[in-house]
């Protein structure tokens, strides 16, 4: 949307209670000086370790049209008392001026892929009139930023919301004020901050607290926490819809068959209707995600057939299922990039996807973080899905993978290494034409560097 006015300096001042130093228009909003482009509003946020005001010169050198600041500057600006609070205010103002439908997405697994698929489905309804949060901007700064970037004429807005502590989603959902609120699944992510998986379900259920009057809650039918989530939704939702793979779900997959390209051909049933379509992404978890997507599209007044087409054409996301062929001296190897993040549920799901690939299977697996006192048990429990996936060689990365190394001893060929750089070296030493390589771990393990190396250079 470069070149199209998103905010004027006067509108920014009105929304934030600030004072504009000059008249200017902006076509984008960012708080990362590295992302600033021509016409952007640069938000000079102050954090514990950095201060955005230090990067004002860089932002304007890259084409910023104005800045939101709390300190004095000669650059065109809107000055406020607190730039972080002003970002929230700008997000609220953006939501208030938008008259379309808003969909909120949370869950332990599948948030970003589901958000991207929903955006693709709505963009087909009215190209250029759908908006979503980019990347994984789903926290206390990412969500208001994504709202602030939303054009006033947006018909469908899709926002991902994350959390790792109780109370976070309650705050975020009241900013987003969704008409449709969805929980994709509940899994033991961030167990270091919660007493139980049920407590995670309660925290995820906070998304329903921000529902607009007449709003729809979408709940995973197959989850053991289904009734808990329904109870959380009942005080806030006018309608509760379930999705899943089992009989009883409002949106369910009644037939499914793997395609030659690795996706799934699905027949979904809802009410008295049926829809058959292909999901380009492999794995049972994507079949479940697709049922949630159909439920949300239906609740927001979208076109279900167009949603099916979007699912058929959707490519993998970097760090979340993207695939490519790595060049080797004598051929190629398939790389499955799941390097962005990991928890026990997503590890199992992606190992099941790896199991479907021909050739020798190599798993480069980084430790799963924020599991607290449950860490050793959750890591050791990955031994069974690794063996079931017929993994021929595993590279286990990080100290916490020690428990898994002990559980795998004598069962498969593996190596336990301290970091991503060593993992890359070990992978280079064994990778051969025809191999299928899964790369997955918590983001802090930095396995994305392994993926980048495979993508950018020929192996020697």
- On whether residue 246 sits in a domain, the answer given is yes
If you average pLDDT over every residue of the chain, what do you get? Answer: 94
Q: What is the pLDDT of residue 188?
A: 81
371 and 230 inside one domain: no
Task: Read off the CATH number of the domain in which 399 is found.
Answer: 3.90.190.20
- On whether residue 242 sits in a domain, the answer given is yes
Quick check: 161 and 138 in contact, CB under 8 A?
yes
Q: What is the pLDDT of residue 134?
A: 82
198 and 339 inside one domain: no
341 and 425 inside one domain: yes
Domain boundary among 22, 55, 81: 81
152 and 283 inside one domain: yes
- Give me the domain span that covers residue 335: 322-456
297 and 429 inside one domain: no
61 and 136 inside one domain: no
Which stretches of 154-303 are DSSP H helices? 168-176, 197-204, 226-233, 284-299
332 and 451 inside one domain: yes
145 and 273 inside one domain: yes
Domain boundary among 46, 81, 116: 81
Return phi, psi of residue 414, to 5°.
-150, 165
- On whether residue 159 sits in a domain, the answer given is yes
Return phi, psi of residue 240, to 5°.
-120, 125
The alpha carbon of residue 459 and the mean position of all alpha carbons in its chain are separated, in whole angstroms, by: 30
Counting the structural domains of the chain, the total is 3
296 and 329 inside one domain: no
- On whether residue 48 sits in a domain, the answer given is yes
Q: What is the dihedral of CA 326, 329, 332, 338, to 10 degrees?
A: -30
Task: Read off the CATH number of the domain in which 218 is found.
Answer: 3.40.1190.10
Which stretches of 51-205 are DSSP H helices? 56-61, 83-97, 111-125, 142-148, 168-176, 197-204
pLDDT tens-digit series, residues 25-36: 999 999 999 999
Quick check: 288 and 244 in contact, CB under 8 A?
yes
- On whether residue 183 sits in a domain, the answer given is yes
What are the CA-CA distances from residue 105 to residues 125, 136, 163, 207, 332 (Å)? 20, 12, 12, 8, 37
- On whether residue 255 sits in a domain, the answer given is yes
The residues near 174 (Cβ < 8 Å, ≥ 6 apart) are 209, 210
Q: What is the mean pLDDT of each run of 10 residues along the chain (460 residues)?
A: 84 98 97 95 92 96 98 97 97 97 94 94 94 86 96 97 92 98 89 86 97 98 97 98 97 93 92 94 92 98 96 86 90 93 91 94 96 93 97 97 97 97 96 96 94 73
Quick check: 176 and 145 in contact, CB under 8 A?
no
298 and 330 inside one domain: no
Domain boundary among 56, 81, 106: 81
- On whether residue 397 sits in a domain, the answer given is yes
Task: Read off the CATH number of the domain in which 56 is found.
Answer: 3.40.1390.10
Distance between CA 191 and CA 375 in Å, rounded? 8
Quick check: 324 and 335 in contact, CB under 8 A?
yes
Q: What is the pLDDT of residue 396?
A: 98
Distance between CA 394 and CA 331 in Å, rounded? 21
452 and 434 inside one domain: yes
What length does the chain have? Answer: 460
- On whether residue 90 sits in a domain, the answer given is no
Locate 247 and state its tokens: 């009989």
């Amino acid at each position: 949307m470069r070149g199209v006015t998103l905010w004027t300096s006067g509108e920014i001042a009105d929304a934030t209670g600030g004072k504009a130093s000059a008249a200017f228009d902006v076509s984008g909003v960012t708080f990362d000086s590295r992302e600033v482009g021509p016409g952007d509003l640069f938000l000079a946020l102050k954090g514990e370790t950095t201060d955005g005001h230090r990067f004002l010169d860089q932002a304007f050198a890259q084409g910023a049209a104005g800045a939101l600041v709390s300190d004095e500057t000669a650059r065109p600006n809107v000055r406020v008392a607190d730039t972080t609070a002003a970002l929230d205010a700008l997000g609220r103002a953006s939501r208030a001026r938008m008259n379309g439908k808003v969909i909120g997405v949370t869950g332990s697994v599948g948030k970003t892929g589901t958000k991207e698929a929903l955006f693709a489905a709505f963009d087909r309804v009215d190209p250029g009139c759908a908006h979503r949060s980019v990347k994984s901007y789903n926290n206390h700064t990412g969500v208001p930023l994504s709202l602030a970037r939303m054009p006033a004429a947006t018909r469908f807005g899709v926002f991902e919301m994350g959390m790792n502590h109780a109370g976070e989603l309650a705050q975020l959902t009241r900013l987003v004020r969704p008409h449709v609120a969805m929980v994709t699944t509940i899994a033991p992510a961030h167990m270091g901050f919660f007493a139980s998986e049920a407590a995670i379900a309660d925290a995820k259920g906070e998304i329903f607290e921000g529902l607009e009057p007449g709003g729809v809650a979408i709940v995973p039918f197959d989850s053991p926490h289904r009734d808990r989530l329904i109870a959380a939704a009942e005080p806030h939702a006018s309608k509760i819809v379930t999705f899943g793979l089992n009989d009883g779900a409002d949106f369910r997959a009644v037939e499914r068959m793997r395609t030659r390209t690795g996706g799934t051909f699905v027949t979904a049933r809802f009410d008295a209707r049926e829809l058959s379509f292909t999901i380009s992404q492999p794995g049972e978890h994507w079949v479940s995600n697709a049922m949630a997507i159909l439920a949300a599209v239906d609740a927001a007044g979208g076109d279900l057939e167009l949603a099916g087409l979007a699912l058929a054409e959707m490519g993998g996301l970097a760090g979340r299922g993207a695939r490519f062929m790595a060049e080797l001296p004598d051929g190629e190897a398939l790389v499955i990039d799941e390097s962005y993040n990991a928890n026990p549920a997503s590890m199992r799901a992606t190992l099941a996807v790896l199991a479907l690939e021909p050739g020798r299977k190599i798993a480069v697996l980084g430790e799963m973080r924020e599991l607290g006192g449950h860490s050793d048990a959750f890591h050791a429990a990955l031994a069974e899905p690794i063996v079931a996936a017929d993994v021929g060689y595993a590279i286990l990365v990080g100290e916490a993978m020690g428990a898994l190394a002990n559980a795998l001893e004598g069962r498969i060929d593996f190596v336990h290494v301290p970091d991503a750089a060593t993992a890359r070296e070990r992978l280079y030493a064994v990778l051969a034409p025809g191999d299928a390589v899964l790369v997955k771990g918590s983001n802090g393990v930095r396995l994305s560097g392994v993926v980048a190396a495979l993508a950018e250079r020929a192996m020697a």
